[in-house]
Structure 1
Amino acid sequence: MINKFVVVDLETTGNNPKKGDKIIQFAAVVIEDGKITESFSSLVNPQRPIPAFIEELTGLEDNMVKDAPLFTEIAPKVNELLEGAYFVAHNVLFDLSFLQEELIQAGFEGFYGSVLDTVEMARIIFPTADGYKLSDLAVREDLQHDRPHQADSDAQVTAELFLILVNRLSQLPELTLRQLSQLSGGLKSDLQQLIDEIILELDQISVSWQESLEICNHTFALKKPLSISMLTNRQYQEDDQYPSSEDEKVVMVKKAFTNFEKRIGQFQMMDGVYRSFHSGKHTLIEAGTGVGKSLGYLLPVAYFSKQNNQPIVVSTHTIQLQEQIIYKEIPLLAKILPFEIKCVLLKGRNHYISLEKFALSLLEENDNYDTTLTKMQILVWLTETNTGDRDELNLSSGGNIFWNKIKNEQTIFSMNKIWQEKDFYLRAQSEAQNADIIITNHSLLLSNLSSETSILPKFDYAVIDEGHHFEKVASQYFGRSLDYLTTRLLLSQFGQYEQRMLFYELEMILDSLKTAREEVLETGKINQLAVDLSYEMDEFFKLTALYAKTNSGERRGINRAKVRFTHNDGGKERNALVHSAERFAFLLKDLQTAITHRLELIKKSNGALTSKQKGKLEEIISFRNELEELRLTVQDCFIKKSDDVKWIEIDFRSQQNVTTFYAQPAFVSASLKERFFNSKRGVVLTSATLTVNHSFDYVINEIGLVKDSTLTMVIPSPFDYKNQVQLLIPDDLPEVNATSLEDYVIAITEHIITIAEATKGRMLILFTAHDMLKKTYELIKESGFLDDFAMIAQGITSGSRSRLTRNFQRYDKAILLGTSSFWEGVDIPGEDLSCLVIVRLPFSPPDEPLTEAKCQVIKQRGGNAFTEYSLPEAILRFKQGFGRLIRTEKDRGIMLVFDKRITTTKYGKAFLKSIPDVPMKKGNIDELVEIIYKWL
């Protein structure tokens, strides 16, 4: 047994040792008997200049390595350290390939022992981590990582991380370890060897996992279910009255906070929500940042629910807010309330794992790397999840494909009783039946409108948080979309007979049952159908791209475009696309019919099916249902006449992968009024941005409420904006609409550089179009003036919005450039964000398909499209952008608006009137920088 691990990290002049890249720093940390026993590090003279970007990344410069030893001088020590050890590194193939090259050149044999990769290990052992970069994992595990990208610091942190990973592995049940060992033969590293050594050392007597885990159906270990009800001191009693006075509320709320600060606005909101439900009226509440709106509605919701024995649904737009409510706000509520409250988080069925399908997938072999890794992640995750919800997992794109095979769905052939008892979805649903508060999202709330897909129990009262998104989500819900990648992945699941996918499996099951096949299509014909379908799908998306290209007009210069599709343009590209859609829909119907006939034969045959065959049949039924969904989408988008707005979104650089067709209603107010608001007794819609120029009219019209019977409340933010914010408007920039994109970018780039030097970074710059963001980013980089700043740009720097935001907070001097999704939901409190720049007022482009269609409808009925739609929509987004700057009462910040129209036009005043009253100064950039220096 090997009990020595050497954790290695290198800094190098580039990525390719074969092309002459060299090591500039070597570090190793030795672990023996579970402890760090030795460390060694040395700078190395590469005998060639260090490239500028490596200097920037590592902080290592030519003069620091010029007197360092050559690698040949430290090679004997390196070789001695590695003898008889596991070679461990974060992304092991990189470090190993460099070291091999250098050791062989120094006259040694190189390293041919066992290797372990802490990236691979972390992905398996921390399946829910946000990211697997060393710095992300160090933050997660609270490890001091003071000098990222310096080998000695990186090696030390990797060694500490490795010890944590090994310790976590050794706490897993033996069954899970044996399953991981079986799968790990397909990994890049020798993890199987390590796991087998851990299994040999397991102490059978001290099995610490038994309190929290159970072995389910002899198949895998599962966490024992936790009830989500928040137990306080007692059950609800008739005389538990809602705290109507301010003093009563203060006494109650104090219980939950060590540093209690009275928020009058929060108390007003509590009363507003309680009053709304009691009067049976719908209510709009705009609650400014810092009001504490989650608790502002949860407390009255809890009382009303208990007093009237009614479940209340709380719906949010983002997963982050759902998780914040369930893990942070509900425990606070439990401390405040004198009685017990039951709360459950409920998502759509496909969000939950099907344990039975997963168990069957473990019997299959010949997995690719992504599937193997995902199975291992899920085995570990099942020992720690309370919910079985895929949103907890950090899966690769290949992992997402595997998830589709094991997601929870209605079953016909299988569902063994044992699995039914443990099923996460059924458990969440049954908890929802008895819950007082059900947390969900806008899409699921809307899917309840049709009874076939209804997952939520019957409810009459709801709170819609992040309510400014409700109209947009409703448009998507009442619409349809069709994209190339999803469609291709779906059809590839069925495959042709010789590809041994679902089609092959279906034929094998039929053969095993010796079923008479006279009345069904023979195998060869179905095979041809699969070939034709795949060809027609490609053809259909090629014609979609061709239509977009031909009709993209002026915008051909840019890579991404949204192109409206109309039924009356009569062009040959449009006709060809519609004919292809008709053929596609017919072929989908034919394949669906053929599968259905085969399934009916199997049902009639009464032959005994193995559990593996039942699992396959479930996959086939699920595939057939998705085929029907796809056919209806094609039909609705191209064959049925409708008033929906239709458009194509495409990236001309990669049109095969990025082509999506959308169909959505221009307005959803009538549908929402009739199908949602009219059937509910009391709905509270809340957000920080619901009013335009102090009026709720725009939102009331958009979502289909009736003005006279809707209650409204504005609760201002408790922040002292007058002393916390300075609004600056440069008057030496060109008019945004009177200048070319290139000239405007040059002008604003100069300003951004000057401002960044004054604020020392800590800037968020909001754009309305990715094209302008990209050009500005490139010009800043090219100028070289901000080389010592971390530049993080949406769509250029890889990662999700939350990851980019975290990276921004990690650097002292950072600039974050964002478009659409960064205008809201980004929460960067404190000094990390001191300066917000709005590059132009956030009007939607007039040729954006939904905007264009809405404006046409308004004009046709004699209205003014600008004042009724374009302006209010832009003002709401502007308010969202403004809300990024001040997140706590101690924050201070500068906001710059580069778009002069805010002061030179009549409508510009409406933007200023819609945000809190803050001091505003205009001037040239030198005068404004003077103010910035003084202020910060």
Structure 2
Amino acid sequence: MLNKFVVIDLETTGNIPKKGDKIIQFAAVVIENGHITEKFSSLTNPQKTIPAFIEELTGINDDMVKDAPLFTEIAEKVISLLDGAYFVAHNVLFDLSFLQEELIQAGCEGFFGPVLDTVEMARILYPTADGYKLSELAEKENLNHYRPHQADSDAHVTAELFLIMLKRLSTLPQITIDQLTQLAGGLKSDLQQLIDEIVETSSERQEEIPRSIEIFKDIALKKSFEEEELEAVDKDVQYPSSEEEKIEVIKHGFQFFEKRSGQFLMMDSVYESFQNQRHTLIEAGTGIGKSLGYLLPIAYFSKQHKLPIIVSTHTIQLQEQILKKEIPLLAKILPFKISTVLLKGRNHYLSLEKFHRTLMDENDNYDTTLTKMQILVWLTETETGDKDELNLSSGGLIYWNKIKDEPTVFAPNQGWQEKDFYLKAKSNAQAADIIITNHSLLLSDLKGEGSILPEADYVVIDEGHHLEKTAGQFFGYSLDYLSSRLLIGQFGLYEQKQLFYELEGLLSSIPLQGNKLMHAFELNQMVMDLNYEMDEFFKLIALFAKTKLTNIKGFNRIKVRFSHTDSGKEIKALIHSAERFAFLLKDLYSAIIDRLEWIKKEKQSLMSKEENKIEEIFTFVNELGELRNTVISCFIKESKDVKWIEMDTRSPQNITTFIAQPAFVADQLKEKFFHSKKAVVLTSATLSINKSFDYIMKELGLDPVSTDQMTISSPFQYKDQVQLFIPEDLPEINTVTLDDYVIAITEHIITIAEATKGRMLILFTAYDMLKKTYELIKESGFLNEYVLIAQGITSGSRTRLTRNFQRYDKAILLGTSSFWEGVDIPGEDLSCLVIVRLPFSPPDEPLTEAKCQLIVRQGGNAFNEYSLPEAILRFKQGFGRLIRTEKDRGIMFVFDRRIVTTKYGKSFLKSIPAIPIKKGTMDELVEFIHTWL
């Protein structure tokens, strides 16, 4: 075995050696026989200036390298280190290509031995990791990484990580290792050679399968140990009604238990709501301990009455928090056992049968190969088979669509049933006391399509302020160009060798006498016609949207209302195109179904590979039918839905979406959901407006007489923890142009950032204003030492942007809609919140416009009944970002002077806790910031 590995890391002046970028630091760590035997590192003189951003990143400056050796002087040493070794690096292609260039320029031969990439290895061996940066993996394995972006430190940490991964690889079950070896030929590095050598040299390898693993049909799986039977219902389980009894129960779970009266009040309200079979709204302020506030009483209620209770949340983060943090705590404190299950939609679960069938398919691309290897390792760890555990690339998600669980055309293979993750989740749910799910799945019962959820009369809805919006999307339709094109592209033209080609291949092996099937040539023409019509259809949608626009200077992302009553040639052309598109979808659907039926009829036995293809085509046909149904519902059937187009004017066709939703869902929710449940508890930190629940009850269709309402204030001392500042030297937002307003607020943001040393969250209501402000701050150069993170500009999800924000001392985060809530940044990481303008929805926003028109038609006041309450709820959400614990302190700026100059502005202030308010010029306010912070 090549038992020598050299882990290399370089710091360089840039990314392109061919354009003259040079190495400024070289580091190598040598590993032999599983131990680090040598380390070598040296700064090198690049004979050019080190760029400022590289200096900032690495801490290496021109002075440090001016007396360092040239790379040519250490080249011989580098060659001797690499002799007879594997070249190992984190993102190996970068380090290898750079080093090759420098070695060749130094007159050496370069390195041509085997290479290993620790990023690629980590993707396979840590399939559920949050990220694969060196710092993230080091944190995961508790490795000290003192000086990131310095080659010696990076190389040492990479070497330690590599040793851990070698060990991890060698402890996998033999069958998994064999399968990984077969797949590893498709990787970028020489992992296949490494695994072969591990297998060869470990003939004494323990062949016993670990107790936690079982082999099922050639796949190593994590063994599921049956839960011990939970004890039968105990009629003596008594809910702890007094404060003393609650304290007695709860203190078992805490080292230091601190009594929260608000939490106890919430527990009693939830328990009484279920006992009395009444719907209840509970607004629970930050810091109450809301999750335990409802979990404890529902656990007692479920146990006493032997009934399942559903807990529904809006975000995956909260589901994970409940499952990983709150439920273990609950298990610790309860005097009895409860069973809990997290339930998601069917296609979240892996179909083992499909995975097994496709495992050794040939001609996989790189992403598919890597994903298969990830899944093989993951199957030795997962108990749920839930996709959300995996960290998949976008290419990996395409492969996932082939192996996810969904209804099948063939009777499921009984042999696989006992290990089916979806069936297991379903059966666990049937037996569970508490079922955690999301709002969409909770509502899926209402369409009557048969749900994965068991029957349950008692429900807790956390993040309840989202239910109305989710219901709107749920009862509506959405149609976009990209997914329509991808879908039809899956079938492809015959010569593109996609599903169409596969389908004809299946047909070619059976006699075709007596069939009335369409000829392949005709079918090919139909696919061409369909592609043409689809392009035309989306072009006409964009064309229609453009005719409705009058003044869109500076705005790229637009929303335009669509109505069948509109006149003009554009709408007629669009409706005709929709009809043609729907007809062609129906014709293609029928032609494929005819072919599938003929194959099933004529072919007595199918190989598993063929079954797999038919399954894939069957799934495609179902999605084709759904697409046709959406086109008909949006354009051909009459409906009262609000319809609108969202698009980007720079690239209209590719980013065009058509949406149809009911304006109000209150009636549907009332009839189909609330009437069918005995008791529903809705909770959130933002349900009331100025102590009244009228707005939310109207939106959800709840009856004020049969619904209890309760507000539980936060235990935080807001008046000591928060200061609210309103600058008086800003223009009124509606009296100046967007550009002038951006100039004014940018000056203020720079001043505030310098006073607070960053750690600022700035909330915008529109992306265009955010983008212009970001660009102006950058251009000004005043905040160059601050890290600027902007939603939609800095890449990454909301969670990743928030995590990056917390990583730097001097950071400013600019966010729009999704950052107004659900972002949790406790402690000193966030000390300043800026609300740029009051969060009213634009009056011409299609859904807002439709709701307001309906209210006016019914004789109501649209501003007071809809626009104002909706904005206040969002304002409360934004305010909630600042103070997350009782020790937090922070300042809040509201730039929108309407909060003090208008009558309705008072309603915003009355809906948040009472806090000191300071008004004045920016200079006066900055003086105060210094003394207060």
TM-score class, shorter-chain normalisation, is over 0.9
State the one-letter code of the partner of 1:49: T
Deviations 1:83-138 (A, max 9, x none): 21111111111111111111111111111111111111111111111122222222
The answer to whether the 8 A contact 2:554-2:768 is kept is: no
Of the structure 1 ranges 299-308 and 142-151, higher mean CA displacement relative to structure 2 is found in 142-151
How many angstroms apart in 1 are the aligned matches of 2:691 and 2:457?
29
State the one-letter code of the partner of 1:25: Q
State the one-letter code of the partner of 1:537: M
Give 3-state SS (helix, strand or coil) of 1:894's partner: strand
Of the structure 1 ranges 240-249 and 302-311, higher mean CA displacement relative to structure 2 is found in 302-311
Change (3 A) 1:203 1:184: same
Give the one of 633, 641, 648 matched to 1:651: 648
Of the structure 1 ranges 528-537 and 54-63, higher mean CA displacement relative to structure 2 is found in 54-63
How many angstroms apart in 1 are the aligned matches of 2:203 and 2:311?
47
Give the one of 820, 843, 863 matched to 2:817: 820
How many angstroms apart in 1 are the aligned matches of 2:544 and 2:42?
60
How far 1:215 moved relative to its partner?
1.3
2:175 corresponds to 1:178? no
How many angstroms apart in 2 are the aligned matches of 1:465 and 1:204?
54
Change (3 A) 1:335 1:236: farther
The 5-angstrom pairing of residues 664-743 of structure 1 reads 664-743=661-740
Gaps of 5+ in 2: none
The 5-angstrom pairing of residues 359-398 of structure 1 reads 359-398=356-395
2:198 corresponds to 1:198? yes
Of the structure 1 ranges 883-892 and 502-511, higher mean CA displacement relative to structure 2 is found in 502-511
Name 2:486's counterpart in structure 1. 489
Name 1:91's counterpart in structure 2. 91
Name 1:65's counterpart in structure 2. 65
How far 1:538 moved relative to its partner?
1.9
Change (3 A) 1:386 1:828: same
How far 1:64 moved relative to its partner?
2.4
The answer to whether the 8 A contact 1:171-1:208 is kept is: no
How far 1:392 moved relative to its partner?
1.0
The answer to whether the 8 A contact 1:175-1:221 is kept is: yes
Name 1:531's counterpart in structure 2. 528
2:579 corresponds to 1:582? yes
How far 1:828 moved relative to its partner?
0.9
Change (3 A) 1:835 1:639: same
How many angstroms apart in 2 are the aligned matches of 1:393 and 1:550?
45
How many angstroms apart in 2 are the aligned matches of 1:821 and 1:896?
19
Deviations 1:230-269 (A, max 9, x none): x88x554111111111110000010111111111111111
The 5-angstrom pairing of residues 252-401 of structure 1 reads 252-401=249-398
Give the one of 590, 594, 597 matched to 2:591: 594
How far 1:742 moved relative to its partner?
1.5
Deviations 1:421-456 (A, max 9, x none): 100000000111111111110000000113323221
How far 1:410 moved relative to its partner?
1.1
The answer to whether the 8 A contact 2:284-2:684 is kept is: yes
How far 1:391 moved relative to its partner?
0.9
Name 1:22's counterpart in structure 2. 22
Name 1:216's counterpart in structure 2. 216
2:53 corresponds to 1:56? no
State the one-letter code of the partner of 2:221: L
State the one-letter code of the partner of 1:390: K
TM-score (norm 1): 0.97
Give the one of 793, 801, 807 matched to 1:810: 807
How many angstroms apart in 1 are the aligned matches of 2:823 and 2:227?
28
State the one-letter code of the partner of 1:23: I
The answer to whether the 8 A contact 1:355-1:423 is kept is: yes
How many angstroms apart in 1 are the aligned matches of 2:749 and 2:150?
31
How far 1:784 moved relative to its partner?
1.7
Name 2:164's counterpart in structure 1. 164
The 5-angstrom pairing of residues 1-20 of structure 1 reads 1-20=1-20
Deviations 1:611-642 (A, max 9, x none): 22122211111111111111000000111111
Gaps of 5+ in 1: none
State the one-letter code of the partner of 2:341: V
Name 1:155's counterpart in structure 2. 155
How far 1:150 moved relative to its partner?
2.0
The answer to whether the 8 A contact 1:235-1:339 is kept is: no
How many angstroms apart in 2 are the aligned matches of 1:116 and 1:541?
46
Deviations 1:352-398 (A, max 9, x none): 11111111111311111111111111111111111111111111111
How many angstroms apart in 1 are the aligned matches of 2:344 and 2:446?
15
How far 1:200 moved relative to its partner?
2.0
How many angstroms apart in 1 are the aligned matches of 2:855 and 2:692?
20
Change (3 A) 1:37 1:548: farther
The number of residue pairs the alignment matches comes to 933
Give 3-state SS (helix, strand or coil) of 1:41's partner: strand
How far 1:510 moved relative to its partner?
2.8
How far 1:206 moved relative to its partner?
2.9
Name 1:112's counterpart in structure 2. 112
Name 2:517's counterpart in structure 1. 520
How many angstroms apart in 2 are the aligned matches of 1:690 and 1:93?
53
State the one-letter code of the partner of 2:150: Q
Name 1:188's counterpart in structure 2. 188
Give 3-state SS (helix, strand or coil) of 2:535's partner: helix
The answer to whether the 8 A contact 1:835-1:885 is kept is: yes
How far 1:919 moved relative to its partner?
1.1
The answer to whether the 8 A contact 2:446-2:673 is kept is: yes
The answer to whether the 8 A contact 2:116-2:189 is kept is: yes
The 5-angstrom pairing of residues 554-633 of structure 1 reads 554-605=551-602, 607-633=604-630
Name 2:633's counterpart in structure 1. 636
How far 1:59 moved relative to its partner?
2.5
Give the one of 796, 801, 817 matched to 2:798: 801
Change (3 A) 1:700 1:786: same
State the one-letter code of the partner of 1:69: P
State the one-letter code of the partner of 1:367: D
State the one-letter code of the partner of 1:426: L
The answer to whether the 8 A contact 2:299-2:433 is kept is: yes
Of the structure 1 ranges 78-87 and 796-805, higher mean CA displacement relative to structure 2 is found in 78-87
State the one-letter code of the partner of 1:224: K
Of the structure 1 ranges 571-580 and 727-736, higher mean CA displacement relative to structure 2 is found in 571-580
State the one-letter code of the partner of 1:222: L
Deviations 1:530-577 (A, max 9, x none): 221122222222222222333333225322112222212222222222
Change (3 A) 1:587 1:224: same
Change (3 A) 1:553 1:89: farther
Root-mean-square deviation (CA, aligned residues, Å) is 1.6
Give the one of 751, 756, 759 matched to 2:756: 759
The answer to whether the 8 A contact 2:727-2:919 is kept is: yes
Name 1:857's counterpart in structure 2. 854
How far 1:498 moved relative to its partner?
2.7
The answer to whether the 8 A contact 1:228-1:342 is kept is: no
Change (3 A) 1:867 1:403: same
Give 3-state SS (helix, strand or coil) of 2:784's partner: coil
State the one-letter code of the partner of 1:635: I
Of the structure 1 ranges 54-63 and 294-303, higher mean CA displacement relative to structure 2 is found in 54-63
Of the structure 1 ranges 339-348 and 649-658, higher mean CA displacement relative to structure 2 is found in 649-658
State the one-letter code of the partner of 2:569: K
State the one-letter code of the partner of 1:740: T
Deviations 1:119-173 (A, max 9, x none): 1111111111112222222222222223222222222222222222222211111
How far 1:515 moved relative to its partner?
4.9
The answer to whether the 8 A contact 1:172-1:209 is kept is: no
Of the structure 1 ranges 872-881 and 64-73, higher mean CA displacement relative to structure 2 is found in 64-73
The answer to whether the 8 A contact 1:228-1:343 is kept is: no
Of the structure 1 ranges 62-71 and 697-706, higher mean CA displacement relative to structure 2 is found in 62-71
How many angstroms apart in 2 are the aligned matches of 1:203 and 1:748?
70
The 5-angstrom pairing of residues 237-256 of structure 1 reads 237-256=234-253
Give 3-state SS (helix, strand or coil) of 1:57's partner: helix
Of the structure 1 ranges 174-183 and 145-154, higher mean CA displacement relative to structure 2 is found in 145-154
